[in-house]
Structure 1
Amino acid sequence: MEIIDRLGQDQSVVPLRAFYYSKDEKLLVYDYVPACSLSAALHGNKSARRTPLDWGARVQISLGAARGIALLHAEGGKFIHGNIKSNNIPLLQELSACVSEFGLAQLMHPSHSPTACRKSDVYSFGVLLLEMLTGKAPLISPGRDDSIEHLPSLWSGKNGLRMVQMLKVAMACVAVAPDQRLRMEEVVRRIEEIGSSYSGTARTSPEDKPKEEPIQIT
């Protein structure tokens, strides 16, 4: 619990206050977060007048989530998330993101390899990045609005170059071979570099047009 308390002091992780585990029921108790999830922001009903997330917001959200997962992985291999998806990424004020619902993974069978589980977290985060880049949910379900009408505007000007960089990060996370996937601290570093090059809305100009570069899937 000491480690859990320390993790909860970081704004990138929703504090886990208590848990209950039995054969028939498993419960997690977190602080209440009065905000929507990344899933709702990406796929919410149009009738609710949802405002599409611009590129700057997507970078900020992906960085916050990456920092939260990296923080879990940094605890001597004792913590993983195990259930990374857009529903588990709450959006706080000014669209800062954090991670929640990581507690049950710590109750897994001891025979599970922590290293393999961390690589699974990395893969799931790569899927999350692809969801943010494409506006499409990994699994289509009734009631979702997966319209990508607003995505062309994200690719304009210098944003296009940065989105290609983010796409490369995502593809490095979902590499077929687990040992070829990035570590979360490296993911954080790369997203920080992408974010540091972003300032306001990029203007479209011929020289800003993104170059076509091959994306290798390994």
Structure 2
Amino acid sequence: MTTLSVAIGQHLLLAYSGFLISAVIGITGGVAAVRISPLKTILLVSSSLLQAIPAFTLVALIVPFLGIGFIPALVVIVAATLLPVIRNTIIGLSSIDPILIEGATGLGMTWNQILIKVRFPLGTRPIFSGLRLSSIVANAVAIMTVFIGSGGLGTIILEGLVRFHTPGILAGVLPAIGIALSTDLVLSYLEKKAYPL
């Protein structure tokens, strides 16, 4: 029987390790797509295909290749959460008024300087919107990965389901909801700090 505190710790480690990896890959990919136009289509199509696969199916597809445990579960979460980050990063960095880009170029700014000082500050809201959605998906998918031995709150919920024990189910569901809401509040706070207007 997994204790609640251990399950919460496992859940946080799994869900938000996957989320952070997805955020790094997604934002890096979004920047590369803005820099190299043909890459935009490739990244959007490939991440959309991953997103189109239901999370439970993704869990089943991973097992023959990676087995069961923490690493396969992590791969599932990254795959399931990548699209919102890539898509919103591309939208955020690409939707800047061309006049502002031309003005920055006219001032002698390099592409990297424009990225850091113009594109990222003005693209904050769409990027954070993608991160917030991705964090919620990561939280939900982490529960489903219990079927490949990931542990965490999914174990508590599954034990409750097997025993038809509603309080046991709620013991896993309620912390998961609390974690999702708390993460969303933290990301909202960081968004306001990054873009206070």
What is the TM-score when the length of structure 1 is the normalising length? 0.33
TM-score, L = length of structure 2: 0.36
Q: Which has the higher strand share?
A: 1
Q: Which has the larger radius of gyration?
A: 2
More helix by share: 2
Greater relative contact order (Cα < 8 A, sep 6+): 2
